[in-house]
Structure 1
Amino acid sequence: MQTLLSDHGVVLSIVLGAVGLIFALFLIRFVLAADAGDSKMREIALAIQEGASAYLHRQVVAVSLISVVVVVGIWFLRDTPTAVGFVVGSVCSMAAGYIGMIVAVRANVRTAQAASVSSHSALQVAFNGGAVTGLLVVGLGLLSVGTFYLISLKVSGSPKVAIDSLVGLALGSSLISVFARLGGGIYTKAADVGADLVGKMEQNLHEDDPRNPATIADNVGDNVGDCAGMAADVFETYAVSLIGGVLVGFLTAGGYANAMVFPFVICGLSIIGALLGVAFVNFTSLNPTRSLVGGVVVSGLVSAIMLFPATQAMFPTAMEIAGKSVGSTQLYFCILVGIAMTFASVWITNYFTSTAHRPVRRIAKASETGHATNIIAGISTGHHATLAPVLCIVGSIWICYSQADLYGVAVAVVSMLSLSGIIISLDAFGPITDNAGGIAVMSGLDPKVRQITDELDAVGNTMKAVTKGYAIASAGLAAMVLFGSYVYELNAHLGREFAFDLMDPRVMIGLFVGGLLPFSFTAYAMDAVGSAAGAVVNEVRRQIGLHPGILDGTDKPEYKHCVDIVTKAALRQMVLPALLPVIFVVVMAFMGPEALGGVLVGTIVTGLFVGIAMTSSGGAWDNAKKFVEDGNHGGKGSLAHRASVTGDTVGDPYKDTAGPAVNPMIKVVNILAILIIPIIFEAANH
């Protein structure tokens, strides 16, 4: 086993990645074989499919034009392998989101039909549709990173050149992820907020009422934001964490080859755990929350069990890292810390965003006294939600660093992200059930069907929040690894130890500028949602004003007008905030590596708090609204309900646009800094 893992660990991980993709194909066949309902349901589903595909096609064209400019810049300033890596990362990040979304928009109508049979049948179809995205992320991630690494190593004969090209792949996946997250987030929340403000607040229409002209755009947005955007986001987090582990292994463990192979082995074996987690959800009959969380537990436990003998086999003798003797025991302990971080992030986020716990119920109670108290309670919930995850991140860094220096932290990050296969399955489950409920209402199915889809949707909201909390928490750990890599790269170019002195004004300037970036970034993202939502509101009001028969069902709304408005707005307004991190890094690089290092630290610290607070507040506001709509605190039509709708509309861009986009933004800043180091020194020498 030792020889197999040491000599062929990367190849084994590629094979297991391919296995994950094969199972994804099997799940696609399972989903498509399910009953798609009657002709009315299929007509509505087709409108959602066409809207989502049209948007993604236009997004790909727009982003590709920007990517070409970046590729040329990397090729000119760095080298060809790094530029090729950027292209590979970009294409795979787009593909993960695009394919996952194609399946999700076909799973929604089948989930609605399955809900007319039983809750468990609907759960199966929705979860398997989401599992396609989860397995695509890990399968494509391992295949792209592993194959490109082996090819680069074969062509160059140098691990350093191969790893440098992987940094290009990481930047490509991260930059595309920022565009996908922002564009999809602006789309989905502009449509959602616009639909709610006129439909619910002004016309007293129910969620997904077919008389609302923005309802199709709202359903399209769920897919381009929560399926395509999230898939691209976690693909880049997965790929960047894997590449970070390989890079740190190279920088800290000298010539110990197994240190670079080990991250591949962790990710490869964890795919088996993900497959068993998917099987657990399919073959158990627990309630939805227990079934989904149980799948995560099974995946984590199986991965932990398999990785023990693998770690022992790969590190039979200790290696030296930063003057420490590091063996299999220390590294396996770091793996357990990473898996424990996954469980902790799931539990913490579930506590703050589930209708079963106090924070959401406190917001719902505050809604009885009006809109302002709902907003106050929601913001305070987000701020409270930062404490536990940050303490867990700090503790994880402390423990793993004491065990195996920076490499120990990298191993924890990789083990945490190795569970992405099952975690992303939970995330994509959310928009599928949300769309299923919309299709059930618009096609006039029995109210009992909508009751089942609403129950699954409430669970899906929590699962989406859990995934965002998981992604942001992992970003906190991964950022430590990337910043450490930046310092090691500086040391390699300087030929000496590089120290950041807080009395150096360049460092302090960098800290302030880096701390500013997440606030500017999220401000532009929120502005974009508000502007686009305003356009949707005006369009819905225009249609209802010109055609009053829409409200009594004698006229049909012009759904495509709202779809077109949010498509154009999302594509136009995603560009500036997506390019902000690139602009900040390039400008600050001219002040030297001290200032740029300060930017990295400032961005990591404030970005982590902003991301956690926004996603937690948004998720809690959303489920507080659903808790009131279930008949609590006066139910639908009450003052509490109106206040909870206001909180939900404020929380929409918090949880689905600005907050989660901070995660890939942090990665872009760190990876670009690593990539730009040789350019800085070459310019300085000239």
Structure 2
Amino acid sequence: MEVIPILWYLAPLGAIMALAFAAVFFYQVKAQDPGTPRMVEIAGFVREGAFAYLKQQYKGVTIFFSVAFLIFQFMALVMKVLHPLVPWAFLTGGFFSGLAGFVGMNTATLASNRTAQACSESLNKGLKVAFRAGSVTGLTVVGLALIDISAWFYILNRVGIPLQQITVIMLSFGMGASTQALFARLGGGIFTKAADVGADLVGKVEAGIPEDDARNPATIADNVGDNVGDVAGMGADLYESYAGSILATAALGMSAVSMLGPKFASYSINFVIAPMVLAGIGALLSIIGIYMVRTHENADTKELMFALNKSVYFTSATIGIAAFFITKLLLPPQYYFGVFISILIGLATGVLIGWFTELDTSHSYKPTRAIAEQGKFGPATVILEGIAVGMRSTAAPVITVVVGIILAFIFSHGFTSLEMGLYGIGFGAVGMLATLGVTLAMDAFGPIADNAGGNAQMSHMPEYVRELTDSLDSVGNTTAATGKGFAIGSAALTAMALLAAYLEEVRAGLILLGDKLNQAVFLKVNYSPGYYEAINIKNASIQDFINYYQISALNPQYLMGVFIGAMVPFFFSSLTIKAVGRAAGKMVDEVRRQFTTIPGILDGSTNPDYNSCVRISTVAAQREMVLPAIIGISVPVIVGMLLGVAGVLGVLSGSLAAGFVLAVMLNNAGGAWDNAKKYIETGEYGGKHSIAHKATIVGDTVGDPFKDTAGPCINILIKLMSMVSIVFAGLIVSFSLRIETLPIPGSRMKPKVENHNMIMTLPKDHPQAQQRVIRSEVKAPEEEEVEYKEVKADEAVMKDATEDDVNT
């Protein structure tokens, strides 16, 4: 058992305080005036539909987790390719992720009518109610993730499990969080966009009734979808990134300190706990940042956006200051400053990605206004301009992340120690996500403000209230878009860290394999005709693994994996967009049926059958999410069994690169289309019901599955594939190995050249089984005698020289 430094306790303290303030904010929101009976009734319809969906989703998720748990138990207890605690870690990861989504959605469905009622008093009060409700989601996600991580670390350390095994076991519960995130985000995305597209196509385009009109049967389902997709789904998505970045960095820290040599051994636990401490500090400072959100009554969109952004700026700045002291106190003098700079780079990267996303999606800026202008010419030009904006918008986030990665690598001494460079990249991801309590609050603010506007519209609140909720909704659309950009950027950095952490899981799989065979495992890392070298798997560096598995574009196994990985996000997106199209078609049929068969809907004398639309979206979401989820989970396993570790790393590399760019494009194009429509609704280019407005409604409808289904699910996909690879690393390793017994040093036994790339073993009771490196001097093969010819280097002789002469 390692002695845990006192600073580590900041992690559980941050978790407890985050959960405590989440509870405070929840009861503050609940205590607000719920509004008129009609407002309460509308909110009740939404709340009922949201929990009906969540109940159905959790039934399916429970079945999946139960089956997966049994499979992992078989792999651990019978096949012995997993640590016995991994199946339990998998369960807790999924449970806490689901719980965070439930709490967030419970608060959001209570907040919509209260936000609308608060707007009848003042804009500032409406802003505070919506943001405090969003803060419940942000702080709950942070608190539950840190509690889960802290509890596992404390218990595993107390029972005496070595640090290296602790980090490996804890990494595995990321698959539980990833799987829950995919189901929540994908199911919620299909649900909300099926309802949204159906409501827009029939309600706004065909029937000519406004958005969020109570006469539209799909309106309640649309509002339900905002909560299940953008609150519960986003919460699960960022829970996965947050936990994954901390755990991957802890594992890389253990690898880094091992490679630095014996004189740094005393820092082992410090390298592991440092990301947890930073996350704990981030949780505490996020609470302060939340209290900074306020505005004045006549604030425009930019001023409202700044009111929210200043909480992020404050939290980022104070975390940066705290990071200096954390790294200085925990890490060696030679390395702490480089890691500190990596944290600052991560914080800056998160802020920059949010800013670039705002520039490309807010109607305060030129790209979105250009889409609105194209509405004068019809839907086709709106769609073309939106796709162009989305494609162009990939440049800034990609360059930002690339520069962030290389700078973090350089400052963390990556060119002298690969492991330290990767540790710095991991800390960049942790730094970016350390502000999650605030950034996720901003993201959840969006759907809450949207639902508040819908409630005000359906409850026939005065026009000035609707104007104030529209102001919040417009800002909410931008925060939702920037939140998705932040989620995608953080996913890229997290997946990069997980890519390196995968090799640590390969090491763990090889150690388990050796234990199963009662053998010490060695990695052949060097061979020449007169020399033979093998390194103990426990001491092998990441570079040793890269060399051993030939992670290079010249290796066909790796290259095939890259192509497959790059294809998966596109195929996955195709399935999700088609799923929305099929479900939306059923919704359109149902809305048309009600308009034609239920008298009194269009004149408002009869309520539509809201439940039937909720039921259609629920059933479609549960059915349509199965195939994409299977692909995301199965591809790394199948490729691993066929192409081995090199193939898996290729898949992860390809999916990360292609998935990141595609997700940014889909997210920004969809957000820009949405806000172009809202820009016209402010009165530009003819305002509502104009030709330009109808054209941008079509663009917004196309963009809905882009920004709320396919785009957000891709960043979960790339993390899920990494997590699946991590959990199945032991299985893949055991099925893709050739093993030979290590020749005892000094035996003069000549190894076969064709077998130089093999795992080697020695019996554990052999005297040299625990050595770091074993070197065998072998007899050099006899040199062939070469007949040399003297060739005069003059022109006449060279003309008559044969090819053999020239070679000689």
Q: TM-score range by the shorter chain?
A: over 0.9
Distance of 1:153 and 1:651 partners within structure 2? 48
Matched, 1:138 2:148: no
**Deviation at 1:491?**
5.9
- Is this contact kept in 1: 2:163–2:269, CA < 8 A? no
Which residue is 1:470 aligned to? 486
Which residue is 1:123 aligned to? 127
Offset from partner CA, 1:178-206 (integer Å, 9 cap, x none): 11000000011110110000000000010
Describe the SS at the equivalent of 1:471.
helix
One of 360, 364, 387 as aligned partner of 1:356: 364
Distance of 1:599 and 1:316 partners within structure 2? 35
**Deviation at 1:284?**
7.8
Which residue is 2:673 aligned to? 621
Distance of 2:472 and 2:451 partners within structure 1? 11
Letter in 2 for 1:459: V
One of 588, 597, 605 as aligned partner of 1:537: 588
- Structure ranking higher in helix proportion: 1
**Deviation at 1:489?**
4.2
Which residue is 2:281 aligned to? 269
- Is this contact kept in 1: 2:251–2:504, CA < 8 A? no
- Is this contact kept in 1: 2:124–2:296, CA < 8 A? no
Which residue is 1:588 aligned to? 639
Offset from partner CA, 1:226-279 (integer Å, 9 cap, x none): 110000000111011111111111112214221111001110111122111101
Matched, 1:639 2:691: yes
Which residue is 1:315 aligned to? 331
Which residue is 1:324 aligned to? none
Distance of 1:502 and 1:225 partners within structure 2? 38
Describe the SS at the equivalent of 2:212.
coil
Matched, 1:505 2:521: no
Which residue is 1:600 aligned to? 652
**Deviation at 1:485?**
1.8
Distance of 1:329 and 1:508 partners within structure 2? 37
Which residue is 1:323 aligned to? none
One of 242, 246, 264 as aligned partner of 1:242: 246
- Is this contact kept in 1: 2:195–2:225, CA < 8 A? yes
Matched, 1:170 2:174: yes
- Is this contact kept in 2: 1:153–1:161, CA < 8 A? no
- Is this contact kept in 2: 1:6–1:314, CA < 8 A? no
- Is this contact kept in 2: 1:52–1:220, CA < 8 A? yes
Which residue is 1:345 aligned to? 353
**Deviation at 1:156?**
4.5
Which residue is 2:262 aligned to? none
- Is this contact kept in 1: 2:644–2:736, CA < 8 A? no
Offset from partner CA, 1:440-487 (integer Å, 9 cap, x none): 111111011111111110100000011110011111112221112223
TM-score by length of 1: 0.96
Which residue is 1:322 aligned to? none
Q: Tell which structure's C-alpha radius of gyration is larger.
A: 2
Offset from partner CA, 1:33-83 (integer Å, 9 cap, x none): 100001111111111111001100110111110111111112221233110
**Deviation at 1:6?**
6.4
Offset from partner CA, 1:91-136 (integer Å, 9 cap, x none): 0110111100000000111001001111111000000000000001
Letter in 2 for 1:380: A
Distance of 1:239 and 1:491 partners within structure 2? 22
Moved over 6 A (4+): 283-286
Give the paired residue count. 675
Matched, 1:665 2:701: no
Matched, 1:547 2:598: yes
Which residue is 1:321 aligned to? none
Letter in 2 for 1:543: Q
Unaligned 5+ runs, structure 2:
76-81, 259-264, 413-420, 511-522, 524-536, 538-543, 739-808
**Deviation at 1:282?**
4.4
One of 644, 649, 669 as aligned partner of 2:701: 649
Letter in 1 for 2:189: G
**Deviation at 1:504?**
1.9
Which residue is 1:108 aligned to? 112
Matched, 1:213 2:203: no
Identical counterparts, % of pairs: 40
Letter in 2 for 1:366: Q
Unaligned 5+ runs, structure 1:
319-326
- Is this contact kept in 2: 1:81–1:152, CA < 8 A? no
**Deviation at 1:15?**
1.3
Offset from partner CA, 1:489-515 (integer Å, 9 cap, x none): 446744443331222221121111111
Offset from partner CA, 1:125-162 (integer Å, 9 cap, x none): 00000000000111111111111122122235222222
Which residue is 1:305 aligned to? 321
One of 20, 23, 36 as aligned partner of 1:22: 20
Describe the SS at the equivalent of 2:214.
coil
Distance of 1:237 and 1:480 partners within structure 2? 11
- Is this contact kept in 1: 2:295–2:304, CA < 8 A? no
Which residue is 1:81 aligned to? 85
Which residue is 2:5 aligned to? 7
* Compared CA separation, residues 97 and 680, structure 1 to 2 (3 A): same
Describe the SS at the equivalent of 2:201.
helix
Q: Which moved more, 1:547-556 or 1:123-132?
A: 547-556
- Is this contact kept in 2: 1:334–1:411, CA < 8 A? yes
Which residue is 1:251 aligned to? 255
Root-mean-square deviation (CA), in Å?
Answer: 1.6
**Deviation at 1:12?**
2.2
- Is this contact kept in 1: 2:652–2:721, CA < 8 A? yes
Matched, 1:564 2:590: no
Letter in 2 for 1:372: A
One of 29, 32, 47 as aligned partner of 2:30: 32
**Deviation at 1:555?**
2.5
Matched, 1:420 2:468: no
Which residue is 1:522 aligned to? 573
